Amino acid sequence: MDFGTVVPRDRAFDVVDRFVERGGGWLDTANCYSFWVDPSGVGGASERVLGEWLASRSGARDAVRIATKVRQDPLIPHRWPESAEGLSGSAIRAGVAASLDRLGVDSVDLLWAHAEDRSVELEETVRAFGELVAEGAVRRVGAANHASWRVERARTIARSAGLEPWTALQLRHSLVQPRPLTVLPEAGHRLLTPDDLDLAHEEGIAVWAYTPLLHGGYVREDKPFSEPYDHPGTTRALVALGDVARERGATKNQVVLAWLLAQDISPIIGASRVEYVDEAMDAVSLELTAEEVERLSSAR
């Protein structure tokens, strides 16, 4: 997310090189990353850095799959959310064209609707996504930060029109959970719910989880959980997490990632350093038992 802004280009290259070296295959970005810290007030830096990385590494495009998102990039610098591009047909097409140009590719493997846009008819959004697949600019489409009923309605519209439906969900999820009905400090974040998982399991939809490590809060005292996580369930979950980590000789971060993977949820790692990549990739081989998964889940 922070490539080209918080994370300088050379370090970003090192991170991606290590990820691919360790067997990583998906690079997930967005056209709006990271407008809130970019002096320009608009997004695009992350995609430009990834495009430069792709151009500088022979065979890189064949080695990775690229996912990006449209919806949130400000059309007027420093004016978000009021100038966010939205999900009209024209906005989607313009956003994808700009993303392909920055990435230096002919197509992306997955295009996300970054968040809902209820100012636009859902049919218009679904048609634009489906047409991009039919035209070859996008290979697959998904919905991030959408309510499950909106996802299913969109899938019904797509099927009725003979268009490609959304086949992936991206939502925020981790072991510890905020208090119900509390508002997260991060604007636009939507939590994974049981309804989302129910839909995904019934329909064979892939689930991706962002912010799985809660900004380092599991392992760093200087990165405490935000106030909505201050409740007894967090305390219980952290005790169980510490127990499992000690028993398995793993870090707490690795156990959290393994817990997600055991549930067929793909965690997205915003690694800013090579050592963080190594820690995360080591979690892939950490296979938790059903008892360990249940112990962690029931402690929350």
For residue 131, is it within any domain?
Answer: yes
300 residues of the chain, pLDDT tens digit each: 999 999 999 999 999 999 999 999 999 999 999 999 999 999 999 999 999 999 999 999 999 999 999 999 999 999 999 999 999 999 999 999 999 999 999 999 999 999 999 999 999 999 999 999 999 999 999 999 999 999 999 999 999 999 999 999 999 999 999 999 888 999 889 999 999 999 999 999 999 999 999 999 999 999 999 999 999 999 999 999 999 999 999 999 999 999 999 999 999 999 999 999 999 999 999 999 999 999 999 999
Whole-model pTM: value is: 0.96
Judge contact between 52 and 9, C-beta under 8 A: yes
For residue 118, is it within any domain?
Answer: yes
Total of domains in the chain? 1
Q: What is the pLDDT of residue 187?
A: 84
How many of the other CB atoms lie within 10 Å of CB of 195?
13
- Return the bridge partners of 182, or none: none
For residue 264, is it within any domain?
Answer: no
CATH value at residue 100:
3.20.20.100
For residue 99, is it within any domain?
Answer: yes
For residue 241, is it within any domain?
Answer: no
For residue 90, is it within any domain?
Answer: yes
Residue range(s) defining the domain that contains residue 13: 1-166
For residue 81, is it within any domain?
Answer: yes
CB neighbour burial string for 75-103, b if at least 16 within 10 angstroms, e if fewer? eeeeebeeebbbbbbebbbbbbebbbebb
